[in-house]
Amino acid sequence: MNRTKIVAGNWKMNKTFDEGLELAQQITNKAKNASCKVVMASPYIHLHALRQVIGKSDTVFLAAQNCHHETKGAYTGEISVEMLKSIGVDYVLVGHSERRAYNQEDHKMLAKKVNLVLQAGLKVIFCCGEPLTVRQDNAHIQHVKRQLRESLFHLYESEFDRVVIAYEPVWAIGTGETASPEQAQEMHKAIRRMVENSYSEACAQATTLLYGGSCKPSNAKELFSQPDVDGGLIGGASLKADDFMAIINSI
């Protein structure tokens, strides 16, 4: 099955407004003929302007890095899904390891976010992955299985065509360490099997699985060559247009 290939860039808390606008313009121009979907997940301050930069591109799409788990209300400093929808966001990242760690986002909260994003008609990039201690205990597959079961597998199968799963080994995020292509494939294959066991083989085969964790131009091609790796969720390397394009062109 020809699954949708995606390379998404997570800018995290980087780039001033003008810097972000310049980066987005460079990527949008360079990615016109990309062979995969290109997603930019920028800070909130950029989103509206980036929507104008991207326009009606067939290859470049816009993502928010987070949303709140309630629809509206007295939540100072937070952003709702409807706000994101109103400015033309296509995707929302849910469950990134940094938000799990620094903002104490638990399975129940993430499930609520997933529901709100899908109810609004947007798409979810759901992040999952294990810390080093879990990997060392050889419990990484069970760890990820629980993350998916508690926050994602309550959905109907019909909703899964708007869900992308991004596996990010926490021990490889921003550390320079990278899961080997074999380690990435092992987990991606296991995740696909989890989706199949919870839904169907057709659903599993149609679900896009991304690898995130120190993916860069030098290792992207080998990672993307694995049969169950359908692209990447890129951190630091997405902040330079040439590096990001080198990764996009590796798929």
Sign of the alpha-carbon dihedral angle for 205, 88, 237, 213: negative
- C-alpha 161 chain-centroid distance: 15
Catalytic residue among 130, 140, 168, 188: 168
Catalytic residue among 68, 69, 96, 140: 96
Query: 105: number of CA atoms within 13 Å, CB side?
Result: 25
Residues 207-239 as b or e (16 or more Cβ within 10 Å = b): bbbbbbbbbbbebbeebbebebbbbbbbbbbbb
Tell me which residue of 44, 50, 42 sits closest to 11, measured CA to CA: 42
Strands 123-128 and 163-167: parallel
Query: Is 167 buried (19+), middle (13-18) or exposed (0-12) by CB count in 10 A?
Result: buried
Respond yes or no: is residue 107 known to be catalytic. Answer: no
Q: Is 64 left (phi over 0), alpha (psi -120 to 50) or beta?
A: beta
* Amino acid (1-letter code) at residue 231: G
Respond yes or no: is residue 140 known to be catalytic. Answer: no
Active site residues: 96, 168
